[in-house]
Amino acid sequence: MVRKLKVAVSGLGRMGARHARHFLERTPRAELVAACDPDPKARAWAKQCLEPYGTVIYEDFDEMLRHPGLEAVVVSGITSEHAPQTSRAIEKDLHVLCEKPLSTDIATCQRVVDAAKQKPHLKVLCGFSRRFDASYRDAWNQIDAGDIGRATVIRSQTCDKYRDDDYFVQYAKHSGGIFVDANVHDIDLTLWYFGQDSIVKSVSAFGVVARYPGLKQYGDVDNGIAVVEFWGGRIAYYFSSRMMMAGQTDTTEVIGTHGKLMINASPANNLVEMHEPNGIRREIAQTYYDRFEQAFVTESNEFTAAVLDNTKLPFKLTGAVQAVKIGAAMTKSLRTGKKIDFDELGNEIEEVQKARL
């Protein structure tokens, strides 16, 4: 009989519950042996939906880590627990798939990366879901094949559908701000397409509050724009928004010296178009998950395969630190109204100068 990877999921909120189901139902080489959540409601759901399939439900994360035979953990709870839980799992010699971001704090991110480096036999993956999306991969293959020459300018956006409640305001308390929460995906894509070793030269960010005044108390905005220059003549520019009316609108454009790739320039939820008295209409994905569901499933499967077969993960953990670093610089630029400059080693010049004094 084939061996199946014994996996546990920590955190059964919206995204965590999905991860659980992906490992339970759509990852044939894995077995969901355990799940945990401190919230009784989440555990009640798990008892109904996971337990019948043999998954053991825990309240406590550390207790779950002691589940017999456990090999890998998915860390998917609140952001502030990402780093500590990942670190403790690594300590216990477990493979980890951690939701992005590792942390909204760069030093914390770096500590996780350092911990992972100590145990090179472990697979530790930060879940940048777009890396597993078929369209983004197709684009990467074309870039890698040289089809568009040298990738020079990237435009990328992560834009959520407007919600008529205070979800985004509540969320802003812990999200790290729109750049770290939303554009971090676009930054990660940039590092993928420009090269993981690209060194940031400057970060400038801008934003407005147009629909959710409550964001102001957290220094956050509902529409953000940022420009990132990289050493070596490359630029990326980003947009993020919480007020798209039609739905989730994540578009990326990679402009090379000899061609251009557009990803999702004309969003559509499926293949149906409606011809109506006022024109032709199509619906689009309503949520991030609507758009990237299949990518999340691919993520579960590839993480599982990398562990079982001891093969390379599709990308390195260090990129996750770099992405958060750039996202945090955006937040700083937004709040100070200043452009943040970096030296050719990628160190923030102002910080370097401060350190010298």
Residues 226-255 that bind a copy of itself (CB under 8 A): 227, 229, 233-235, 237, 239, 241, 243-247, 249, 255
| Residue number, 121 or 275, with CB nearest to a copy of itself | 275
The nearest distance, CB 197 to a copy of itself, in angstroms, is 18
Q: For residues 6-25, which are near a copy of itself according to CB under 8 A?
A: 24-25
| Residue number, 61 or 288, with CB nearest to a copy of itself | 288
H or E, element range at 32: strand 30-36
**Residue 120 lies near a copy of itself (rule: CB under 8 A):** no
Contacts of 314 (CB under 8 A, 6+ apart): 131, 132, 302
Q: Which residue stretches of 158-243 are H helix?
A: 167-175, 178, 184-194
Binding residue for a copy of itself, selected from 41, 47, 173, 339, defined by CB under 8 A:
339
**Residue 276 lies near a copy of itself (rule: CB under 8 A):** yes
The nearest distance, CB 184 to a copy of itself, in angstroms, is 19
The nearest distance, CB 24 to a copy of itself, in angstroms, is 7
| Residue number, 6 or 26, with CB nearest to a copy of itself | 26
**Residue 177 lies near a copy of itself (rule: CB under 8 A):** no
| Residue number, 107 or 274, with CB nearest to a copy of itself | 274
Strands 95-99 and 151-161: unpaired
The nearest distance, CB 278 to a copy of itself, in angstroms, is 7
Q: What is the DSSP letter of 178?
A: H
The nearest distance, CB 122 to a copy of itself, in angstroms, is 26
The nearest distance, CB 312 to a copy of itself, in angstroms, is 23
State the Cα–Cα distance between residues 132 and 301, nearest whole angstrom.
10
The nearest distance, CB 44 to a copy of itself, in angstroms, is 18
State the Cα–Cα distance between residues 115 and 111, nearest whole angstrom.
6
Task: Report which of 252, 282, 262 is spatially closest to residue 270, judged by C-alpha positions.
Answer: 282
For a copy of itself (CB under 8 A), the number of binding residues is 75
- For 214, other C-beta atoms within 10 Å of its C-beta total 15
Contacts of 65 (CB under 8 A, 6+ apart): 8, 73, 88, 89, 92, 94
Q: For residues 29-88, which are near a copy of itself according to CB under 8 A?
A: 52-54
Query: What are 311's two structure tokens?
Result: 């093969």
| Residue number, 48 or 310, with CB nearest to a copy of itself | 48
Contact track, a copy of itself, 179-208, x by CB under 8 A: -----------------------x-x-xxx
In the chain, what is the straight-line distance between the N-terminal and C-terminal CA atoms, in Å?
65
**Residue 138 lies near a copy of itself (rule: CB under 8 A):** yes
| Residue number, 254 or 320, with CB nearest to a copy of itself | 254
Binding residue for a copy of itself, selected from 275, 312, 354, 356, defined by CB under 8 A:
275
Q: Which residues of 232-271 are buried (b: 16+ CB within 10 A; e: fewer)?
A: eebbbbbbbbbebebbbbbbbbbbbeeeebebbeebeeee
**Residue 2 lies near a copy of itself (rule: CB under 8 A):** yes
Handedness of CA 48, 54, 55, 56 (dihedral sign): positive
